[in-house]
Amino acid sequence: MGERCAVIGVGQTHHQAKRLDVSIAGLVREAAERALADAALDWDDIDAVVIGKAPDMFEGVMMPEIYLADALGAVGKPMLRVHTAGSVGGSTAIVAAGLVEAGIHERVLTVAFEKQSESDAMWALTVPVPFNAPLVAGAGGYFAPLIRAYMHRSGAPDHIGLLVALKDRANALRNPYAHLHDPDLTLESARESPMLWDPLRYVETCPSSDGACAMVLAGERGAAGTRAHPPAWVHGLAWRSEPTMFAGRDQVNPRAGRDCAADVYAQAGVSDPRADLDCAEVYVPFSWYEPMWLENLGFCAEGEGWQLTEKGATAFDGDIPWNPSGGVLSSNPIGASGMLRFAEVALQVRGAAGEHQVDGVRLALGHAYGGGSQFFSMWVVGAEKP
Amino acid sequence: MRDVAVVAFAQSSAPAEQRRNDVEILMPVVQDAVERSGLGHDEIGFTCSGSNDYLVGGPFSFVGALDAVGAWPPIRESHVEMDAAWALYEAWVQIQKGVVDSALVYGFGKTSMSDLAKLMTLQLDPYYLVPLWPDADTLAALQARAYLDATGRTERDLAAVAARSRTAAAANPNAVVTEAVTVDDVLSEAVTAPPLRRSECAPITDGAAAVVLAAEDVARSVCTRPAWISALDHRTDTHALGARDLTRATSAAIAAEAAGVGSGPVDVAELHASYAHEELLLRDALGLREDTDVNPSGGALGANPVMATGLIRIGEAARRVHDGDASRVVAHATQGPCLQQNLVCVMESGGR
């Protein structure tokens, strides 16, 4: 690898169920302008734009980057559009970082968004596709049986999912950009939350959000200069994909996730993620995915993830805080949810996370996954240049 | 920069494909490209594809396509919702990073399942343009008319492009167009979207294409005459058609300039022109001279599996280098209304 890549600007929108005050262009522009302001740069300083989002049917606009070229300041410049399902926010950042690391561009703007209120994601995920047997399950219906399988395997008690939801929603109270702010949520009220896809209750499910996230990535020259916050340096990035289904595939603890984690840890010199990392933003759209990914990502042995959650290890004041921003459970503009994970850890190592800043973060993991737990993208960012 | 080459190219045989689904179309093409590359499936460092959910009629068109690749053990993989020529660009960037030495790139499109021209309307500005429902043929006709009016070119010039392309396509076993036509044949057709006639518009096509890229010694070891990518650049124009000079392909010209197309003779150019006038605009934008052989494959007017059409241009141009028929070639890909976004790839027989 030639160039080192840094995050020098981060921006995001206030995530809401319906951003009726802005168009799709207005939404991405809002995040991009905040990232540029954070980087103390202007549109002219950007060499290329990389945009990502989940399926186009989530808004009903085919290849929307074509229409967004103007709002993204891409006219006359190279523009790429990434789509890798739920992992796309992370993959988009990896593609953008690649342009810097390969020495092709000095400063790249990367943006991810979803404006779920424009269409209906549940419909888009269940529409019968020609030549395929329709699943008609939506995301929750798809993942609930895998969660059941995890509970069966690990012997985890039933309330672990609720603990994750309580923790992430409490963290969201520290994050002004988060979609859900519910200071009255308690374990008792969470237990009364309606059952959506057994064992997942309403409160254990991510919301449908309109939102966008943007980052300015730069090489060593582009990162030079004085800004309000120092850069976050990319110490490693990795992606892995595997097929949706075949006999013998472990969908609860997928190999693509384990391989991806091993790759990114090797690049970043991480041998014991729980000890070596200071916090993590991990794609947890349904509560139980915290203990499941704790195991998949090697933060503990298989079968023990739920114990870390129960003991509070992943809480804001735990030894390895997970999702101090409130995570996907508190804001879910789908295509942007992965980039928000990547961006939030950049904020943490820059000391720029505001009220949800975890003390002394030097090295942190951002994670995203998508499809049938089959697409993974991860990066490790650090305060020091590697 | 690392020296990276196209070492293998495969495409579907368009006329046979209509009864298959996209994965069935893709699977033998991927197999063919990998076999031609001389690399084992497990030696491919990175995989990247281009496809379009709206063509498939559902979300995640690329997920099923992974079954054509056989992504096990898990692979390094990504996808662009763009013509697969941009997937090739992404793969080229990953090889430039130095982490991998080879990549598989593929694209597929099954356009027979929809009314393509109408479907493409959905990629326009959803607030101001889509409600007017201008379809792709209508917008192309608008550009064609503007181009003829501004340049003094005639409908006969458009017919000449169509006749030459379709005659070349008739000799290409992978094209859907199987009959050669003359200029007068084309001019005798009814006008479908004035001034464009049926033969001046790309045919509905189901198909797929795959390319294998390799770097430096890997390329030299698996390919006798690698098509070395000496430059690769892509740019976009504004989406606002009213703000563009439709008589020029401005972003194609910027990309061609950045790629140094004009810095040497071009033996063969494969241009992604889905309408006859687009070839004329692109010849201007790329600064091609009269002695360049343009679209000897028949181009998009011979076969247009949308999302693979641009990648096929790269593959067809590279093939001329592989075969020893050309030493410097140019391939072009486009997407968006009226040539909004353009990619230019220059390939040469000698390493830099």
What DSSP letter does each residue of B241-298 carry, written as one string?
GGGS-TTS-HHHHHHHHHTTGGGS--SEEE---SBHHHHHHHHHHHT--TTSEE-TT-
How buried is B255 (Cβ within 10 angstroms: 0-12 exposed, 13-18 middle, 19+ buried)? Answer: buried
Among chain A residues, the shortest Cα distance to B243 is held by A70
Tell me how many domains chain A contains.
Answer: 1
| Nearest CB neighbour to B74, from listed A68, A84, A255 | A255
CB–CB of B238 and A57 under 8 A? no
What's the pLDDT score for residue A108? 98
Helices (H), chain A: 24-38, 65-68, 88-101, 121-126, 138-154, 160-172, 187-191, 220-223, 255-268, 273-276, 289-296, 305-311, 327-330, 334-350
User: B65 or B17: whose pLDDT is higher?
Assistant: B65
- Token reading at B202: 């790309």
Per-residue confidence band for B57, with pLDDT thresholds at 50, 70 and 90: confident
Q: What is the 3-state secondary structure (H, E, C) of A63-113?
A: CCHHHHCCCCCCECCCEEEECECECHHHHHHHHHHHHHHCCCCCEEEEEEE
Structural domain includes residue A356: no
Dist CA A318 CA A132 (whole Å): 45
- Token reading at B287: 């600064």
In contact, B104 and A104? CB cutoff 8 Å:
no
In contact, A288 and A306? CB cutoff 8 Å:
no
Using DSSP's 3-state secondary structure scheme, residue B196 falls into strand
Q: How far apart are the first and last CA of chain B?
A: 10
Going by C-beta distance under 8 Å and a sequence separation of 6 or more, which residues neighbour residue B50? B79, B80, B81, B82, B83, B84, B85, B86, B87, B105, B106, B107, B307, B308, B311
Given CB atoms, is B93 within the 8 Å cutoff of chain A?
yes
Q: Which of A129, A142, A249, A250 to mutate to test the interface with B (most CBs of B within 10 A)?
A: A129
CB–CB of B74 and A1 under 8 A? no
Dist CA A360 CA B157 (whole Å): 69
Structural domain includes residue B301: no
Render pLDDT for B173-194 as a digit per residue (tens, 0 to 9).
999 999 999 999 999 999 999 9
Structural domain includes residue A382: no
Structural domain includes residue A333: no
Structural domain includes residue A135: no
The whole-chain average pLDDT of chain A stands at 96
- How many residues are given for chain A? 386
Contacts of B234 in chain A (CB under 8 A): 78-79
DSSP secondary structure string for all residues of B300-341: GGT---TTTHHHHHHHHHHHHHHTTS-SEEEEEEEESTTS-E
Dist CA B84 CA B314 (whole Å): 10
In contact, A66 and A80? CB cutoff 8 Å:
no
What's the pLDDT score for residue B60? 86
CB–CB of B82 and A63 under 8 A? yes
Going by C-beta distance under 8 Å and a sequence separation of 6 or more, which residues neighbour residue B65? B22, B23, B26, B49, B51, B106, B108
Residue B352: is its pLDDT beyond 60? no
Q: Smallest CA–CA separation between A40 and chain B, in Å?
A: 25
CB–CB of A80 and B86 under 8 A? yes
Structural domain includes residue B314: no
- How many residues are given for chain B? 352
Structural domain includes residue B64: yes
What's the pLDDT score for residue B67? 87
- Tell me the β-bridge partners of B268: B293, B329
What's the pLDDT score for residue B14? 66
The CATH number given to whatever domain includes residue A80 is: 3.40.47.10
Structural domain includes residue B86: yes
Per-residue confidence band for B56, with pLDDT thresholds at 50, 70 and 90: confident
What's the pLDDT score for residue B59? 86
How buried is A73 (Cβ within 10 angstroms: 0-12 exposed, 13-18 middle, 19+ buried)? Answer: buried
Using DSSP's 3-state secondary structure scheme, residue A222 falls into helix
Contacts of B58 in chain A (CB under 8 A): 57, 127-130, 132
DSSP secondary structure string for all residues of B149-180: HHH---HHHHHHHHHHHHHHHHT-TT-S----
Burial A32-56 (b: 16+ CB within 10 A, else e): bebbbebbebeeebbbbbbbbbbbb
Structural domain includes residue A78: yes
Q: Domain containing B23: what range?
A: 4-113+204-227
Structural domain includes residue B21: yes
Burial B62-101 (b: 16+ CB within 10 A, else e): bbbbbbbbebeebbbbbbbbbbbbbbbbbbbbbbbbebbb
Q: What is the mean pLDDT of residues B248-272?
A: 98
Q: What is the mean pLDDT of residues A258-286?
A: 98
In contact, B139 and B82? CB cutoff 8 Å:
no
Tell me how many domains chain B contains.
Answer: 1
Reported as half-sphere exposure (CB side, CA atoms, 13 A), residue B201 has a value of 20
Structural domain includes residue A164: no
| Nearest CB neighbour to B122, from listed A61, A374, A375 | A61
Q: Smallest CA–CA separation between A94 and chain B, in Å?
A: 10
In contact, A109 and A100? CB cutoff 8 Å:
no
Report pTM.
0.98
Q: What is the mean pLDDT of residues A141-146?
A: 94
The CATH number given to whatever domain includes residue B30 is: 3.40.47.10
Amino acid in position B343: L
- Token reading at A180: 């859900």
Torsion of CA A365, A297, A266, A357, to 10 degrees: 20
Torsion of CA B21, B25, B28, B32, to 10 degrees: -160
Dist CA A338 CA B78 (whole Å): 15
Among chain B residues, the shortest Cα distance to A238 is held by B76
Q: Assess whether the previous peptide bond of B195 is cis (omega < 30° from 0).
A: yes
Q: What are phi and psi of B210, to 5 degrees?
A: -145, 145
Structural domain includes residue A87: yes
Of A43-47, A104-108, A222-226, give the lowest mean pLDDT range.
Answer: A222-226
- Give percent of chain B with pLDDT exceeding 70: 98
Per-residue confidence band for B16, with pLDDT thresholds at 50, 70 and 90: low
Q: Domain containing A44: what range?
A: 6-121+208-223
Rounded alpha-carbon distances, angstroms, from residue A49 to A32, A112, B282: 10, 11, 24
Residue A209: is its pLDDT beyond 70? yes
Residue B39: is its pLDDT beyond 90? yes
In contact, A113 and A211? CB cutoff 8 Å:
yes
Going by C-beta distance under 8 Å and a sequence separation of 6 or more, which residues neighbour residue A220? A3, A4, A6, A385
Among chain A residues, the shortest Cα distance to B59 is held by A55
- Angle of the B250-258 helix axis to the B276-286 helix axis, nearest 10: 40
Render pLDDT for A216-231 as a digit per residue (tens, 0 to 9).
999 999 999 889 999 9
